[in-house]
Amino acid sequence: MNEHSNLQGSQSAEEIIALDKRHVWHPYTQHGVEVEPPVIARAKGASLFDADGREILDMISSWWTCTHGHAHPKINAALARQADTLEHIMFAGFTHAPAVNLAKALSDLLPDDLNRVFFTDDGSTAVETAIKVAYKSWVNRGQTRRTLVAFDGGYHGDTLGAMSVGRSSQMFGAFKDLMCDVRVVPYPATFEGDDAVEEREAGALSALEALLADHKQDIAALIIEPMMQGAAGLRMCRPSFLKRMVAMARAANVLVIFDEVATGFGRTGKLFAMEHADVTPDIVCLSKGLTGGYMALAATVVRDRLFDIFLGHDFDRALPHGHSFTGNPLACAVALASLGLFEEEQTMARITQINARHRTVLDVLAARPDVMRPRTLGSALAFDFGNDTQYQSDASLKLRAWYLANGLNIRPIGSTVYLMPPYCITDDELARAYATMIEGMDRLASGSL
Ligand SMILES: Cc1ncc(COP(=O)(O)O)c(C=O)c1O
C-alpha cells in the first residue's frame, strides 16, 4: 500500500471533491465561480449515477460523444479483449489489425474515394491534421496558400489551427494574435417556420463568391460543420446550401473540409451529415461518436488523390505529423465494436424515432412566447431564449444548475437550450426529459430558478 492506492479504491464523494478542488483544472471552466461538480460513480445506458446513487439523464451524451449508451456490454467486451491482446504500439513503422480494419470500415462507410485515414486523438487534432494536410498539399504542388475560409459561429476545437478557423465562435478572443489567416463568411442558420432562409443563403453564397473571386489563389481550404454547427448552439442549415457552397469551392479549386466531429455517427439522422446533401468533401474530420463515446480517438479521412500528392522518394514530400497514441489499438477496437452496433441494433431507425418524438415537442415549444427558433435534426433538438448569447450566460448557468439538481445533464449554450441524447434513450426517459426541460423554462420565465 502506498499513499496513492486510494486513487483506485473506494473514496467518499467529499474526498474526491477535495482532491479535485486542490489538483484539477477542468476544461472551459472558471474555477473562481464554478460550483462543486457532481462526482459520477458509474453510468449505464442514458443514465449517469452520482456517488449517492442519484440518477442523472445524460441528455447531451457527455459532450455529444456517447452514441449507443454508457457501459454497453459489447463495447466493454471488445475493450477487455483488446486490452488482453495489445494495448498500444507506436504507429510509425508498425501496424495492427484494429487500426487497418477500422480504416477499411470507415472507407467503406464514406462516399467516393474518401479512403485514406490518418488517426489522431480528438476533434481538435483531427481538424489540425486536416488544415495541415490541406496546406501542405498546396506546398507539394508548388503553391503557398495561407488563407482558410470558415463560417460565422463555427467551432472546430482549441488547438491553434482549429481555434483559428473557430475564431468567430466567441471563445478565443484572447488568442487572436496567435491565429493564422482566416476569412469568415456568414452562415445561413435556419429553423422551423423560417421564412427568410433563402435570403440568408443568398447573402452567404454571394459573400463566399466574392471572397473566392478575389482570393482563390491564396485559399488552401474551406471548413464547415455540415448541416449543423454544434458549439454555436446547434445552428442548422439546409442541404441545398451545402451543395451550392461545395460546388462553388470546387469551381474555384479550393479544398473542402467537412468537420463531422459532432455531426458524424448518426447525430443528424444520417450516419454522416454529408449524406443529407449528397456531397463529398476532400477531407472529413471524425471523432466524438467514433468510439461510441468511450475513448479519445479521431480520424481525418482524405480522398485518394489528395493522399497521392504526398507520395515521393523523400521525406520533404511526406506529412511531418503524428502523435504518440496515433491509432491506439484499444480505441480502434472499441470504434470497430461501436460501428458494428449500428447494424446490429438498427441504430439509424432508432434515431428516426427519436426525431419523431422531438417533433412532437417542437410544436409545444413553438407555441411559447419565450421560445425562438425551435429546430430539430436527427437526435438533436434545440431552441433559443433571451438575448444573452455569451457562452456561459447567467441564465444558461442557472438553467444548467437547475436541470442538474432535477436529474438532467443539459448544458445550455448562451441562450440556446438543446438535447442530444444517446441513441439508446427510451421513450419514457425522453418524456421525462422534455417535461423537466419545459419546467426549467417555466421557472426561468417566472423568475423562480
Ligand atoms: C464540430 C467540432 N469540431 C471539433 C471539436 C473539437 O473536438 P475536441 O473537443 O474533441 O477536441 C468539437 C468539439 O466540440 C466540435 O464540436
pLDDT value, residue 9: 59
Over the Cα atoms of the chain, what is R_g? 22
Q: State which ligand 1 atom lies nearest to the alpha carbon of 127.
A: 4
Q: State which ligand 1 atom lies nearest to the alpha carbon of 63.
A: 14
Q: List pLDDT tens digits, range 71-103.
A: 999 999 999 999 999 999 999 999 999 999 999
- How far does residue 260's CA lie from ligand 1's centre (Å)? 9
pLDDT value, residue 34: 77
- Would residue 288 show up in a list of annotated catalytic residues for this protein? yes
Out of 122, 259, 282, 384, which one is annotated catalytic? 259
Nearest 5°: the CA angle 328, 351, 412 is 80
Pocket of ligand 1 (CB under 6 A): 122-124, 127, 155-157, 225, 230-231, 259, 261-262, 287
Architecture of domain 13-68+346-446: Alpha-Beta Complex (3.90)
Residue ranges of the annotated binding site are 63, 123-124, 155, 259, 288, 322-324, 411
pLDDT tens-digit profile, the chain (449 residues)? 344 444 445 899 999 999 999 999 999 999 998 788 999 999 999 999 999 999 999 999 999 999 999 999 999 999 999 999 999 999 999 999 999 999 999 999 999 999 999 999 999 999 999 999 999 999 999 999 999 999 999 999 999 999 999 999 888 999 999 999 999 999 999 999 999 999 999 999 999 999 999 999 999 999 999 999 999 999 999 999 999 999 999 999 999 999 999 999 999 999 999 999 999 999 999 999 999 999 999 999 999 999 999 999 999 999 999 999 999 999 999 999 999 999 999 999 999 999 999 999 999 999 999 999 999 999 999 999 987 777 778 889 999 999 999 999 999 999 999 999 999 999 999 999 999 999 999 999 999 98
- Would residue 135 show up in a list of annotated catalytic residues for this protein? no
pLDDT value, residue 389: 73
Out of 21, 28, 388, 442, which one is annotated catalytic? 28
47 and 57 Cβ atoms separated by less than 8 Å = yes
pLDDT value, residue 1: 39
156 and 187 Cβ atoms separated by less than 8 Å = no
Cell of 109: 462507410
pLDDT value, residue 170: 83
Looking at the chain, which residues constitute the CATH 3.90.1150.10 domain(s)?
Answer: 13-68+346-446
- Would residue 259 show up in a list of annotated catalytic residues for this protein? yes
Residue 273 half-sphere exposure toward CB, CA atoms < 13 A:
32
- Would residue 108 show up in a list of annotated catalytic residues for this protein? no
pLDDT value, residue 85: 98
Which of 121, 131, 288, 418 is the best mutation target for the ligand 1 pocket, counting ligand atoms within 8 Å of the beta carbon and taking the most? 288
Q: State which ligand 1 atom lies nearest to the alpha carbon of 64.
A: 14
pLDDT value, residue 428: 98
pLDDT value, residue 19: 97
Q: State which ligand 1 atom lies nearest to the alpha carbon of 122.
A: 10
Which of 26, 155, 171, 416 is the best mutation target for the ligand 1 pocket, counting ligand atoms within 8 Å of the beta carbon and taking the most? 155
Return d(Cα 372, Cα 161) in angstroms, integer: 33
219-224 and 147-151 as β-strands: parallel, antiparallel, unpaired?
parallel
- How far does residue 125's CA lie from ligand 1's centre (Å)? 9
- How far does residue 121's CA lie from ligand 1's centre (Å)? 11
Residue ranges of the annotated binding site for pyridoxal 5'-phosphate are 123-124, 259, 323-324
Out of 121, 152, 288, 418, which one is annotated catalytic? 288
Residue ranges of the annotated binding site for substrate are 63, 155, 288, 322, 411
For the chain, give the secondary structure using H, E and C.
CCCCHHHCCCCCHHHHHHHHHHHCCCCCCCCCCCCCCCCEEEEEECEEEECCCCEEECCCHHHHCCCCCECCHHHHHHHHHHHHHCCCCCCCCCCCHHHHHHHHHHHHHCCCCEEEEEEECCHHHHHHHHHHHHHHHHHHCCCCCCEEEEECCCCCCCCHHHHHHCHHHCCCHHHHHHCCCEEEECCCCECCCCCCHHHHHHHHHHHHHHHHHHHHHHEEEEEECCCEECCCCCEECCHHHHHHHHHHHHHCCCEEEEECCCCCCCCCCCCCCHHHHCCCCCEEEECHHHHCCCCCCEEEEEEHHHHHCCCCCCHHHCCCCCCCCCCCHHHHHHHHHHHHHHHHCCHHHHHHHHHHHHHHHHHHHHCCCCCEEEEEECCEEEEECCCCCCCCCHHHHHHHHHHHHCCECCCCECCEEEECCCCCCCHHHHHHHHHHHHHHHHHHHHCCC
Residue 162 half-sphere exposure toward CB, CA atoms < 13 A:
19
- How far does residue 142's CA lie from ligand 1's centre (Å)? 31
- How far does residue 433's CA lie from ligand 1's centre (Å)? 25
Looking at the chain, which residues constitute the CATH 3.40.640.10 domain(s)?
Answer: 75-342
Return d(Cα 329, Cα 159) in angstroms, integer: 24
Out of 121, 135, 136, 155, which one is annotated catalytic? 155
Residue nearest to atom 7 of ligand 1 (CA): 123
301 and 110 Cβ atoms separated by less than 8 Å = yes
For 75-342, the fitting CATH number among 3.30.70.270, 3.40.640.10, 3.30.720.210, 3.30.2020.10 is 3.40.640.10
Q: List pLDDT tens digits, range 320-364.
A: 999 999 999 999 999 999 999 999 999 999 999 999 999 999 999
- How far does residue 442's CA lie from ligand 1's centre (Å)? 31
Q: State which ligand 1 atom lies nearest to the alpha carbon of 225.
A: 1
Q: State which ligand 1 atom lies nearest to the alpha carbon of 159.
A: 11
